[in-house]
Amino acid sequence: MNLDPSRYADLFRTESREQLSAINRALLELEGGGDHAEPLSVIFRAVHTVKGMSATMGFHALAEFAHDVESLLDRIRRGEQRLTRELMDALFAAADALESGLDSATEDAPRTTAMATALTRMRDAAGGSGASGVVATPGPESGAPADDAGADPMDGPGVIVRVRQSAGVLLPGVRAFLVVEKARALGEVAAVSPAIALLQVAETPQAFALRLVTTASAEEIERAIRAAGDVERVEVDASGGRRQRASREQRAGEVTPEDATRAGAGAARSIRMDLARLDALMNLIGELVITRGRLLQLTAGNGDPALDEEMQRASRLIGDLHAEIVTSRMVPVWQVFDRFPRLVRDAARQLDKEVSFVVLGREIELDRSLLDEVGEPVVHLLRNAVDHGIETPAERGAAGKPRAGRLELAAARDRAAVIIRVSDDGRGIDRAKVLAQAKAKGLVGAETAQLDDDQLFRCIALPGFTTAEQVSGLSGRGVGIDAVQTKVRALGGSVALVSVEGEGTEVTIRLPVTLAIIRAVLARSGAERYALPLAHVRETLEYGAGTVQRVKGKEVLVLRDEVLPLLYLRDVVRQEGAGGTGGEIVVLERGERRSGLVVDELVGQEEIVVKQFDAARDGLALFSGATILADGAPALIMDVGSLFQGA
């Protein structure tokens, strides 16, 4: 075989990780009890697919290990091996070994230490047998000779499915194998022609047929086959018969204009794209938006109606292009969330706790660059919840709670933001302990009697702050909440916490849907201009004596029936000459909280391109990014969440 693995390594790993994600989901379902048949079938098919793709790539060690796992699964499916807790742990270890083996897989790579360890665990858990050495009898699709050498493998019960791959297919052998696996999910693949062993080593687009015994409809079969990717044509024939098949075989290599029309109409309309290309497109559209703003300024009031009309048209087109690029980067959060059930399961097992983990809002979409980054803070929050939040079964029983703690990860849209919430029904945060530590560290005054939620969060989010009496393998080093706060702020988001002792804790992360381009209100303080994200601006009003009053020595904003805290932008950014009256008030809101911000002047609104920056470690934690305005001047983007902490 002359296949160059380096050309297809990324595609192989992407496809394999999708299979491993399915394996982990099915393992969790299997461990949860109930009917074992379906999750076992899912795991078996996924491992079989990884084995086939690995063999096609020439990654023999990975393929052989997958075969060992497959053999054990086959014994479990046939009832020859009992599924015990130890065996479940061994299967989870095998899934981890498969995943870690993907990155190091080469043609000459030996079995990894993780594979060897997992294989030993499987053998021990299976009583010393069944983890290897079980070889399935080859069926017709393997290319093995049938009893009657002259028999047509397409003869027999079932439907005939003919598949033609797209002309530009990458890794045609792997794609053909995936087609067979998709068909196998619908029923029994009784035969494949040419044999699957020949298809797997193909380096050019293939036309092949398979006989499928299934109750699925033709539409369901075609949909499943096309899901394998790079399929130009699918033909499902339930009539059977040698005459029809002979006729089809005679024209198998012909493509008529009608065929081409059908293929074009039904072909899959999606491609894989390197994220770096999407990032490059986003950077380019960002620069184009800045240029648009500058051109609109330069041409404003020029007195040429034709130029004004063309500029407005160009502006709309740039806006539409921006919207399409942003949409192309949006992906559902389940692509990251799907790995968390396994993480929670392992953490609970390590701590001898029982945890019922629920994921909500898996379909909510987020910019891909944000989604890749948000996984780290969510991991910290989940581990903290399992370690510090949820009690042991004995403690929960004594408190009158169910033995299994409830841990919930939820995503939701809120206008121009995505909310990610981690909540548990555990012991809550011990405010007395936090207060004692805060006083000892000089974070609050000695006269402070209790901490509200904002004060509580500010204390525990400080680097190194912890009330844990001992460090566990999961948390307790005082880096969890600090890491969450740092990462989320770098993403232009904010973090809030609510905790009730004895009832649980809820941490809410608020993130922009996309980091790249946002609408903002521009406010001036002295000679400087600052950008306030429009998503947090409720309204604006003139500064006046009737709206600003003093309550207990502090200025507040009286807005209809509300009394809101009032801040001065000059004071917030610590400008020289801070204080005094302002010109206008911006009413800001974040969630249910509102505050008034006094500025010298509101300059206007702009669509701004967000540029991330690394603020000084001990500097003001007030800004979530920077931007270049339409006139070419730089401006800092205010972090509204930090303003509320100071209000």
DSSP secondary structure letters along 545-565: TTTEEEETTEEEEEETTEEEE
The confidence band for 72, taking pLDDT boundaries of 50, 70 and 90, is very high
For the segment 191-211, the average pLDDT, to the nearest whole number, is 84
**CA-CA distances (angstroms) from residue 643 to 410, 536, 646?**
26, 11, 5
Q: Which neighbouring-strand residues pair with 585?
A: 541, 598
Whether residue 356 is predicted with pLDDT greater than 70 in this model: the reply is yes
State the pLDDT at residue 382: 94
According to the per-residue pLDDT averaged within each range, which of 11-20, 38-47, 138-147, 485-494 is highest?
A: 38-47
State the pLDDT at residue 249: 43
Cβ atoms within 10 Å of 247's Cβ, excluding its own: 11
The helix (H) or strand (E) run that includes residue 512 is strand 504-512
Contact 167, 263 (CB under 8 A): no
Q: Which residues contact 309 (CB under 8 A, 6 or more apart)?
A: none
Q: In 3D, which of 81, 65, 73, 74 has the Cα closest to residue 117?
A: 65
State the pLDDT at residue 606: 84
State the pLDDT at residue 280: 85
Q: Which amino acids are annotated catalytic?
A: 48, 70, 384
Phi, psi at 522, each rounded to 5°: -95, 125
Q: Distance (Å, rounded) from C-alpha 352 to C-alpha 504?
A: 19
Q: Which of 24-28, 49-53, 465-469 has the lowest mean pLDDT?
A: 465-469
The length of the chain is 647
The CATH number, out of the four listed (3.30.420.240, 3.30.70.1110, 3.40.50.300, 3.10.20.30), of the domain defined by the range 140-144+155-250: 3.30.70.1110
Average pLDDT along the chain: 81
Q: In 3D, which of 15, 33, 378 has the Cα closest to residue 170?
A: 15
- Here the tokens at position 595 are 């505050």
The segment(s) of the chain belonging to CATH 1.10.287 are 275-328
Helix pair angle (368-384, 340-350), 10° resolution: 20
The confidence band for 239, taking pLDDT boundaries of 50, 70 and 90, is low
- Here the tokens at position 474 are 């999961």
Whether residue 597 is predicted with pLDDT greater than 80 in this model: the reply is yes
State the pLDDT at residue 353: 95
CATH match of 332-512 with 1.20.210.10: no
Please state which architecture CATH assigns to domain 275-328.
Orthogonal Bundle (1.10)
The CATH number, out of the four listed (2.60.40.10, 3.40.50.11890, 2.40.50.180, 3.30.2420.10), of the domain defined by the range 517-646: 2.40.50.180
- For 465-485, the pLDDT digits (tens) are 766 555 455 554 344 688 888
State the pLDDT at residue 476: 45
State the pLDDT at residue 251: 41
Please state which architecture CATH assigns to domain 5-125.
Up-down Bundle (1.20)
Question: What is the DSSP secondary-structure string of 513-531?
Answer: S-SSEEEEEEEEETTEEEE
- E strands present in 151-285: 159-165, 187-193, 207-214, 231-237
- Here the tokens at position 414 are 């809120």
State the pLDDT at residue 109: 82
The segment(s) of the chain belonging to CATH 3.30.565.10 are 332-512
Going 264 to 270 to 274 to 277, the CA torsion angle's sign is positive
State the pLDDT at residue 319: 86
Question: At 643, is the secondary structure helix, strand, or coil?
Answer: helix
The confidence band for 293, taking pLDDT boundaries of 50, 70 and 90, is confident
For the segment 565-588, the average pLDDT, to the nearest whole number, is 79
State the pLDDT at residue 523: 93
The confidence band for 144, taking pLDDT boundaries of 50, 70 and 90, is very low
Cβ atoms within 10 Å of 182's Cβ, excluding its own: 21
Q: Which neighbouring-strand residues pair with 637?
A: 531, 625
- For 512-545, the pLDDT digits (tens) are 777 667 888 999 988 899 999 888 888 998 887 6
The confidence band for 577, taking pLDDT boundaries of 50, 70 and 90, is low
- Look up residue 439 and give its amino acid: K
Cβ atoms within 10 Å of 240's Cβ, excluding its own: 16
Q: Distance (Å, rounded) from C-alpha 78 to C-alpha 68?
A: 16
- For 76-129, the pLDDT digits (tens) are 988 888 889 899 999 999 999 999 888 888 877 888 889 999 999 998 888 764
Phi, psi at 353, each rounded to 5°: -120, 160
The helix (H) or strand (E) run that includes residue 42 is helix 37-57
Phi, psi at 547, each rounded to 5°: -100, -20
- What share of the chain has pLDDT > 90, as a percent? 26
Q: Distance (Å, rounded) from C-alpha 119 to C-alpha 64?
A: 11
Whether residue 617 is predicted with pLDDT greater than 60 in this model: the reply is no
- What share of the chain has pLDDT > 70, as a percent? 83
The segment(s) of the chain belonging to CATH 3.30.70.1110 are 140-144+155-250
The confidence band for 138, taking pLDDT boundaries of 50, 70 and 90, is very low
pTM, to two decimals: 0.64
State the pLDDT at residue 65: 92
Q: Which residue has the higher pLDDT, 295 or 646?
A: 295
- For 399-425, the pLDDT digits (tens) are 999 999 999 999 998 866 789 999 999
Question: What is the DSSP secondary-structure string of 312-358?
Answer: HHHHHHHHHHHHHHHHHTEEETHHHHTTHHHHHHHHHHHTT--EEEE
For the segment 260-287, the average pLDDT, to the nearest whole number, is 66
The confidence band for 150, taking pLDDT boundaries of 50, 70 and 90, is low
- For 313-323, the pLDDT digits (tens) are 999 999 899 88
Whether residue 575 is predicted with pLDDT greater than 90 in this model: the reply is no
State the pLDDT at residue 271: 66
Q: Distance (Å, rounded) from C-alpha 111 to C-alpha 320?
A: 51
